[in-house]
Each structure stands twice: as structure tokens, then as C-alpha cells.
Amino acid sequence: MPILLEVTDLMTRFHTAEGTVFAVNGVSFSIEEGETVAVVGESGCGKSVTMMSVLRLIPIPPGEIAGGTACYRGVDLFKKTEAEMELVRGKEIAMVFQDPMTSLNPVLTIGRQITETLIRHEFLEKKDAELKAINLLEKVGIPEPIRRLGDYPHQFSGGMRQRVMIAMALACTPSLLIADEPTTALDVTIQAQIMELVLSLRDQLHMAVIWITHDLGVVAGLARRVLVMYAGYIVEEADVEDLYSKPRHPYTLALLQALPRVDRRRDAHDHRLKSIPGSPPSLLMEPHGCPFVIRCEYAEDRCKTENPPLRTIGMNHRIACWVDIDVEPSK
Amino acid sequence: MSEQTPIVVVKNLVKHFSVTRGIVFQHKIGAVRAVDGISLTIGEGETLGLVGESGCGKTTAGRTLLGLYVATSGEVMIDGHNVRKARGDELLLIRRTAQIIFQDPYASLNPRWTVNAIVSEPMRVHHLLSGSERTERVAELMHLVGLSGRLVNRFPHEFSGGQRQRIGIARALASNPKFIVCDEPISALDVSIQAQVVNLLEDLQDQFRLTYLFIAHDLSMVRHICDRVAVMYLGIIVELGERNELYEHPLHPYTTALLSAVPIPDPMKDRLRKRIILPGDVPSPIDPPSGCRFHPRCPIADENCSRVVPEWRLAAPSHWVACHKV
């Protein structure tokens, strides 16, 4: 499959009163047409900022894209004018956000918000746009779409709101959907509904999907390839089976071991969860060594002084680590 | 597990919030039946999990049980004291015995108070210790929850989410409670921090023989930390059982669907699983469905389920369920 989006050495910074925040520090990845990639990491690891930077949605200032390129179908998005960018957003690359309540306009009807995109990008007449909006609401499984077109966001439940967001994102049949923790605010039963919906729409429309999440459980059933981020770096990239069966970065391993499993008995009463000591580093200074070094149980002297680059260690498998551990995660 | 010596006994607890219309002449037009008759017991040193989707009433149940909300009807006994009838000194005693840890460590600590003021507040309220003894006790509590005693003069905003939750735990421990309601104590925290806080809660339980009501929606964590688990749906408990029994042999179709929806961090296993996707959302607790409350979303419901309320009964040793189909 041809490459749809290729990001190279992306660096994003925020200049704040407390100093410069090094949010994204040289991130490179690519996604093919129709592919599903998950980006995993804790809050503040730069997973959302990376995607917002690609779409040029970060406020400048205080934000700054300090380097790198983001080529969409071979054209660098960072070189486009703002007007050209508006033709990409929504039409080529669409985004669904975590909290549907804050990303929908509370004083406009759902119908108005969906048709807005259609009138702008597809140059439809209002009538035709409304018909298409009804069709979209039906597609994402909202009952009585004709009546609900005139409803306001607060009249929908959380799961239904997220469906509306997905309908809006799909309005112009984008080639790439970026889903930024779309199920984090939802219950597990609703999460299962939304995941199933996105996957079936992906197959129908041959979209590529980037799914941002902090939940390694969600990723397992969803993506083919996974990027693990920490402190603004990609620390591991692998096919989903490899990542879960033989993670090679100590952070990925630690994350997997910190998760209790719904399908397993707790073997003995004294069996504790393995926790990762400490907390993620401050992003207010550029790390000299590996950003994970203070929390890493495999750290060596070299890790304190030299930041490991992302290197290939196997088929589609890259890690940013000097040590390269080889441990079974689940034992 | 010691069901013989229950420290908490809840019988038919009901909490309705009235829905009113009008500003000056308010009249009641209905009630949100947030908790609609739940009964449970928690043994000393036990952890009982209370799970369910948002809006099922689990948080309201926890708060009503402590008397933070005035119950509509029913009975709660904590360590031999009747929460609904207690007044004066007895009420103070109950409040010392039973504490709560809140979900959001950003909203539950007063931003204008120092950590010292926050952690020592229960001692001030209950007139426990004084002067230098109190200062020492605060330092001791900080040490217990894994924070340095030198940090007591700082303000909440200077701490990370995990550290704030530790401060919330220190405050809950300050009055030497026997029973703590943990209301989603880890759901606002990152994965790597969740394990730290859960391990801390377990250590403290061992050390002080604490009893927990652990309210959560993360079913994996509940299986890890709880001895028994109660599943709530729309204000009532639909199933209650020992953790492995409940997770391996769920009886109620709601529990089965809920468990099948939890993602497993193992791609091979996750793909082979059969996921039961429940249609629709949780109905409104203002006007809950007739008969079995789960029947509109239930994959195996029949006509009888929409008419007759299922009986709460013992289906297997220490495994309770309310379903016609079991």
C-alpha cells in the first residue's frame, strides 16, 4: 500500500512563562493507506500534540513547530498556506476528540454542525447537505436521524455524542481519521460499540485510522501496528503481536506488567501489581540521557548520559533503548 | 473473607433525588431513583467491589451509605451504629470510623490549604491529639502514604495527580477509620501510577485491618483488588459474588456483557473473544423499565421479564443474582 502520511523528525515546543516545554522531540512515523496504527502513552507524553502539530492545530504562539516535515500524499503540510490547510482538515484528514461535549458547539443544532462541513467542503446546497447528514447519522447508528437533526448536543448521551462526532468526521469521507482517545470518557459497553463502529466504517470507506489512547487493552483488538510514546519520544514501534508478546523497551514491558487482567486469577493473595516507581519527567528541559532512565530497572551508566536513538531491531520493530531487554511480559 | 463479622450492613437502602419544576412555587414532578433498594454486607478486613456503568448509582450508594446524602429509606449499620438514626456524639463517632477517598484528586483537596491543614483537618474536627503530637501524626501519615514529611507546608497544586491521591488517602487515615469508601480512587490516574496507588491501598489494609468498599468501573482492577464484587445496574444490585466465581461464571446477562466488553491486553486472545455488544444506552433512572430493569437491552429477555421483577436469590454458594433466566 502507498504511504499516506509520513512524519519525519517532528519537534514541537511551547514557550511558556515557566520556560520552554519540549513536548515532541523528533518523532518519525508513517502510515499507509487503509492502515490502523495506535499511539499509546500516558498523559503528557506528546501523543496528542504530535497529531495536532500534523494538522497544524496547535496555537502559535505559545506553540512552535521547531522542525521536521509531515508529508501527506507527498506534500509537506508544514509548507502549505492556512487556506490550503483548511482544504486538508476535515476533507482529507479528520479528527475525533476525547470529549464530545467540549468539541461540539452547545448552541448549534447537530444538523447545523454536520451540514456546515458539507456546505463548506463539498459545496452542497442546504437541502442536499441535510439529506446527507441524515444518511450519516443513520450510518453511525443514531435512531430517528430525521428528528434528531434539530437536537442540541446536550440532548444526546455521551456515547451518542461521540457517534455524532464520528458522523461529522466522516462527512467528507476522509482518507485518514485521527481518533484522539474517543472512548476514554465512555463506559466499557459503549466503548465496545464505538470501537466496533469505527472498525466497520474503516473497512467500508477504506480509511486509515490513527487511534490515540492510554489503554493498552483497547489497542490489542484494534491496531496492526503500535507506537509507544514517552516524554515526547517514540520509544518503541512494533506490530501489535510482537509488542504484546515480546516488548523490547523497558517502559512498554513495565506498562504491560502494571495492568491487572480481567481474564486471569490473581495467583496468590500476596501477588502485587508491578508498579513503575516515580513519575514521568518534567518536559521543561531537554533530557541528556534516556528520558526513562530514573524509572528504569535495567538502566546502565550509558543511559544517564546518552539519549538512545530509535533503532531497528527486527521486522517492523524499532526501540529507543541501549539495553534491549528480552523478557516475557506476562510471567 | 469474614462474612461472619460484618462491619457494614446495608438493608434496602433507597436514595431518590426529587425532580422539581418552578422557581418560587416548586412542585415535585418525579424522582431520580439513583439507589433503589440495595442490600449488602461487608466483613471486617474485606474489600467489596461495586461496579457498574456511569449513572448506575454506585457513587450515590457509597455516599448515602456514609450519610453524606440523607437516605430516602432503608438502614445502614456501620460498626454497630445506625447511620440514619445517629445524632450528636454517635454521629461524630461514625464519621471517625468511616471515611472516604474521592475520585478526583484535583477537586477534592482545597487549593488554598497546605497539605498540613488538609491532612490534620479530621483530627481538628474530632479533637484528636493536639499541638506537636498532631504535627508528628501528620508527618507519620505522610510517611505511611509514601510522601516526604518535609512537604507538609506545600499546596496541592505543587503535587502530581498520584501524589495528590496519596494526600487524599492520608487525610482519610487521619482519624484512624475502620472502614473506607474508595470512590473510583484511581480512575483519574495514569496507568503507571494506578498500580502504585492500588498497592498502597492494599498495604494499608493489611497494616490497619481496614475494610474497603471499592467503587470502580475498571473491571480488571476490581478483580485484582476485591474479595467479592457487586454489579449495579440502574439503582439496584443485579449480581453479587466471590470475585473468581463472578468473573469466571457470571450468571446475569448484564455481567456477562460487561465482562465481555473489557478489552484484554493480548491481541491473540482479544481477537478470539466473543464480544456481546449491548444495544442502546442505560435508560433514565427517573422512569426505569418495568419488570427486570435490564430487559430492554437484554439479549435473552422474554415477555415475562418485562412484567415481573426478578427475585434476588442465592444461585450458587455465596453467589447472588436477580434474573429470571438463571
Q: Minimal CA–CA distance to B244: which of A331, A273, A266, A271?
A: A266
Say yes or no for a CB contact (<8 Å) between B53 and A188. yes
**A190 interaction partners in chain B (CB closer than 8 Å):** 53, 281
User: Using one digit for the tens of pLDDT, what is the confidence trace for B122-138?
Assistant: 999 998 888 888 999 99
**pTM here?**
0.86
Q: SS3 for A111? A: helix
Q: Quick check: B239 pLDDT over 50?
A: yes
- How many other C-beta atoms lie within 10 A of the C-beta of residue A246? 17
Say whether residue A43 is in contact with chain B using an 8 A CB cutoff: yes
Say whether residue B261 is in contact with chain A using an 8 A CB cutoff: yes
Does any domain span residue B134?
yes
Average pLDDT over residues A259-276: 78
Q: Find all residues with CB under 8 Å of A199, minimum gap 6, and list them.
A: A36, A222
Select from A159, A218, A259 the Cβ nearest to the Cβ of B220.
Answer: A259
Does any domain span residue B121?
yes
Average pLDDT over residues A130-139: 88
Q: How far is B120 from chain A (nearest CA, A)?
A: 26
Say whether residue B263 is in contact with chain A using an 8 A CB cutoff: yes
- How many other C-beta atoms lie within 10 A of the C-beta of residue A277? 11
pLDDT recorded at residue B207 = 92
User: Euclidean distance between the first and final Cα of chain B, in Å?
Assistant: 26
How would you write B256-285 as a 3-class SS string?
HHHHHHCCCCCHHHHHHCCCCCCCCCCCCC
Does any domain span residue B292?
yes
The band of B305, judged by pLDDT with boundaries at 50, 70 and 90, is very high
Strand order in the sheet with A317-319: A93-96, A176-180, A208-213, A36-40, A225-230, A233-239, A317-319, A311-314
pLDDT recorded at residue B1 = 45
User: Using one digit for the tens of pLDDT, what is the confidence trace for B195-219?
Assistant: 888 999 999 999 999 999 999 988 9
Higher pLDDT, A228 or B148: A228
Average pLDDT over residues A256-284: 80
Task: Point out which residues pair with A213 in neighbouring strands.
Answer: A40
Q: Based on C-alpha coordinates, what's the Rg of chain B?
A: 21
User: Using one digit for the tens of pLDDT, what is the confidence trace for A153-194?
Assistant: 888 877 788 888 888 888 888 999 999 988 877 788 888 888
User: Euclidean distance between the first and final Cα of chain A, in Å?
Assistant: 37
> Judged by CB atoms within 8 Å, which residues 48-107 of B form the interface with A?
53-54
Q: How far is B225 from chain A (nearest CA, A)?
A: 9
d(CA A182, CA B213): 30
Cell of B125: 474536627
DSSP 3-state helix, strand, coil percentages of chain A (rounded to 5)?
Answer: 35, 25, 40
Number of domains in chain B: 1
pLDDT recorded at residue A263 = 84
Does any domain span residue B65?
yes
* A45, A157, A199, A262, best to mutate vs chain B, most B CBs in 10 Å: A262
Beta-strand ranges (E) seen in chain B are: 6-21, 27-43, 47-51, 73-78, 81-82, 98-101, 179-183, 211-216, 228-233, 236-242, 313-316, 319-321
Residue A79 buriedness (CB in 10 A; 0-12 / 13-18 / 19+) = exposed
Select from B162, B195, B258 the Cβ nearest to the Cβ of A273.
Answer: B195
Q: Quick check: B99 pLDDT over 90?
A: yes
Q: How far is A216 from chain B (nearest CA, A)?
A: 6
pLDDT recorded at residue B264 = 87
Q: Quick check: A269 pLDDT over 60?
A: no
Say whether residue A76 is in contact with chain B using an 8 A CB cutoff: no
Is residue A56 within 8 Å of A78, Cβ to Cβ?
Answer: yes
Say yes or no for a CB contact (<8 Å) between A261 and B220. yes
Is residue A273 within 8 Å of A225, Cβ to Cβ?
Answer: no
Residue B230 buriedness (CB in 10 A; 0-12 / 13-18 / 19+) = buried
Does any domain span residue B1?
no
Residue A92 per-residue DSSP state: T
Does any domain span residue B58?
yes
pLDDT recorded at residue B103 = 86
The band of B107, judged by pLDDT with boundaries at 50, 70 and 90, is confident
Q: How far is B267 from chain A (nearest CA, A)?
A: 4
The band of A331, judged by pLDDT with boundaries at 50, 70 and 90, is very low
Say yes or no for a CB contact (<8 Å) between B191 and A159. no
Select from A43, A191, A266 the Cβ nearest to the Cβ of B224.
Answer: A266
Q: Minimal CA–CA distance to A289: which of A247, A249, A253, A321?
A: A321
Q: Quick check: B2 pLDDT over 50?
A: no
pLDDT recorded at residue A260 = 86
Bond prior to A62 in cis (omega within 30° of 0)? yes
Select from A221, A260, A330 the Cβ nearest to the Cβ of B224.
Answer: A260
Say yes or no for a CB contact (<8 Å) between B192 and A42. yes
Average pLDDT over residues A254-277: 80
Q: What is the extent of the structural domain holding B91?
A: 6-322
Average pLDDT across chain B, whole number: 90
Sort strands A3-16 and A93-96 into parallel, antiparallel or unpaired. Answer: unpaired
Give how far the C-alpha of residue A51 lies from the chain's centroid of Cα atoms, to the nearest Å: 7
Q: SS3 for B306? A: helix
The band of A330, judged by pLDDT with boundaries at 50, 70 and 90, is low
Bond prior to A61 in cis (omega within 30° of 0)? yes
The chain B residue lying nearest A251, using CA atoms, is B192
The band of A239, judged by pLDDT with boundaries at 50, 70 and 90, is very high
pLDDT recorded at residue A90 = 83
Cell of B20: 422539581
CATH number of the domain bearing residue B294: 3.40.50.300
Residue A315 buriedness (CB in 10 A; 0-12 / 13-18 / 19+) = exposed
Is residue A277 within 8 Å of B304, Cβ to Cβ?
Answer: no
Does any domain span residue B12?
yes
pLDDT recorded at residue A268 = 62
